[in-house]
Amino acid sequence: MSEQIQSEQASDLSVDADWDALYIDGEFRSVPDRDRIDVENPATREVFTQVPSGTVEDVDDAYEAAVAAQTEWENTPPDRRAEVVRKVAYLIDEHEDEIKELLAVEGGSTPPKQAIEHGGTVTFVHDAASHAFRMDGKHNQSKIPGKENIIQRQPAGVVAVISPWNVPMKLSIRAVAPAIATGNSVVLKPATETAVTGGLLLARLFDMAGLPDGVLNVVTGSGSTAGDRTAAHPDNDVVAFTGSTEVGRMVGNNAIDHFALPALELGGNNPHVVLEDADLDTAVDAGVFGSFWNQGQVCISINRHLVHESVYDEYAERLTERAAELEIADPREEDSIIGPIINESQRDEILDYVERTVEQGATLETGGETVTVDGVEDSLYVAPTVLTDVTNDMAAACNEHFGPVAPIIPFSDDDEAVELANATEYGLAGSVHSADRGRARDVADRIDVGMMHVNDQPVNAEPHVPFGGMKDSGTGRYNGDWIIQEFTESKWTSVQRESRDYLF
């Protein structure tokens, strides 16, 4: 193969396309002398493609290109920046079937996950295109006669994006598209497990949309090499990271060492609070979706079901019945609801949390085991799991289990519900159910999270509202005007329009 992938290959978005390249300075570089990383289909355990294991030098090349391209892109008229981003949204819509298959094969995304990730991404990118015209400035009065104060918003410069594997396309593009729309250049390091849908797919889409060379660069590779160099690169102005709190601390420290702004969306231990007057049909519907969408592999999924003792048994019985009925199948099957866990280490950690919780005194109502699908050895499928008789300090409750696990914890009154909900270092999202919306709102206001949902569940995101958490769940906010604040800097210019008297 030549050093650059040919143009007809570069526009191929199928599972069978050649994804074995880095994207630097507008070129898909095949870099034949690099080690390769196998990208595995978690449903079949088969390798469907390979990507380069990027080096520190590759990352440095990406930053050199990003720095060189940024000033000209910043000075590009906003309508042109918006046009490129909007074209990407159209391309995602146009290639829906190919992209959904990629999400299924690479990330284990079942049809409900594919639909939400694909559709949500299109909506988010359309909104991001408008950011080019929303970098609002203002004029302020001055205490000095004859002076004019002008406050402008300017691009931060170079934005590093380090994205996760669980909702890879959407969580990559929610940072990449706003950064580009607001005049920044980007270096994107996708998760190793989803190097295609979290990285190289975006490179091809923006390349097809006509983005100038160097504005977006994608380096695949290990977290310990390409990831660490990206997080700590001295040319960063913003580091946008989505992932675990443990890794986020290291990324944030690396960013601050070079005075880059850390935009960190980290872990969660999200409560789903069901008061005694809740509509149980609605609460259970929400509980099933919030715990088992994408196999629970979502930072905003329900980690704990906090249920009033008077309705505890009925809620647990209903949730258990619903969990046991969920279809477990290859994500490419139309009826599949529960797909595979992303890899062995995640699967083993989930099962360990369940086992330890049972040893601590909980009751396993359903699940708690792997399920073999289509005869695949060493299956990554974990059955939807419901645990009762759980307390807040048990393993599956006090940890972010990140799997299809629903621990149910009883409480006696609203005060205890709030106390249990807040008894965690995390503060990302939550939900409260009650027939009395005023009461539900009162409880919701007392729970320390960045995002709270009344008579719903926590797996929600909209492009025009802030997304982020409190406490150890991160810093800053994504989406809308909030991400514009993260990816731009304020500049104050004063103009003295008439003579001024000085003190000496």
Q: Residue 5's pLDDT is what?
A: 61
**Residue tagged active-site, from 27, 299, 398, 486:** 299
- Does residue 158 have a pLDDT over 80? yes
* Span 472-478, average pLDDT: 97
Q: For residue 26, give every residue at least 6 positions away whose Cβ sits within 8 Å of its Cβ, in sequence order, or none.
A: 65, 207, 212, 213, 214
State yes or no: is 416 an active-site residue.
Answer: no
Q: Residue 11's pLDDT is what?
A: 75
Contact 330, 44 (CB under 8 A): yes
Contact 318, 388 (CB under 8 A): no
Average pLDDT over the chain, rounded to whole?
A: 96
Q: For residue 42, give every residue at least 6 positions away whose Cβ sits within 8 Å of its Cβ, in sequence order, or none.
A: 107, 108, 339, 340, 341, 342, 343, 380
State the fold for domain 21-266+473-490: Aldehyde Dehydrogenase; Chain A, domain 1 (3.40.605)
Q: Residue 2's pLDDT is what?
A: 41
Percent above pLDDT 90 for the chain = 97
Q: Comparing C-alpha atoms, which of 134, 135, 119, 97 is closest to residue 173?
A: 119
Distance (Å, whole) CA 299 – CA 385: 18
Distance (Å, whole) CA 368 – CA 72: 55
Identify the helix (H) or strand (E) that includes residue 7: helix 7-10
Q: How confident is the model at residue 6 (pLDDT cuts 50, 70, 90)?
A: low
Beta-strand relationship, 158-162 and 185-189: parallel
* Span 211-217, average pLDDT: 98
CA distances from 15 to 106, 192, 200 (A): 9, 17, 12
Place of tokens 């060379």: 213
Q: Residue 1's pLDDT is what?
A: 33
State yes or no: is 299 an active-site residue.
Answer: yes
Structural domain boundaries of the chain?
Answer: 21-266+473-490, 270-454
Q: How confident is the model at residue 9 (pLDDT cuts 50, 70, 90)?
A: low
- Does residue 37 have a pLDDT over 70? yes
Please write the tens of the pLDDT for every residue from 240-290: 999 999 999 999 999 999 999 999 999 999 999 999 999 999 999 999 999
CA distances from 239 to 161, 256, 370 (A): 6, 9, 37
Q: Residue 424's pLDDT is what?
A: 98
Please write the tens of the pLDDT for every residue from 430-467: 999 999 999 999 999 999 999 999 999 999 999 999 99
Distance (Å, whole) CA 500 – CA 174: 47
Beta-strand relationship, 158-162 and 238-242: parallel
Amino acid identity, position 361: G
What is the DSSP code string of 88-133?
A: HHHHHHHTHHHHHHHHHHHH---HHHHHHHHHHHHHHHHHHHGGGG
Identify the helix (H) or strand (E) that includes residue 168: helix 168-181
pTM for the complete prediction? 0.96
Q: Residue 46's pLDDT is what?
A: 97
- Does residue 3 have a pLDDT over 80? no
- Does residue 7 have a pLDDT over 80? no
| CATH 3.40.309.10 holds for 270-454 | yes
The pair of structure tokens assigned to 204 is 């091809």
Distance (Å, whole) CA 265 – CA 248: 8
The pair of structure tokens assigned to 74 is 């910043």
Q: How many CB atoms lie within 10 A of CB 441?
A: 14
Distance (Å, whole) CA 306 – CA 421: 8
Q: Comparing C-alpha atoms, which of 391, 384, 341 is closest to residue 361?
A: 391
* Span 78-84, average pLDDT: 98
**Residue tagged active-site, from 27, 265, 365, 400:** 265
Strands, E, within 373-456: which ranges?
Answer: 381-382, 385-388, 405-411, 426-427, 429-433, 451-454
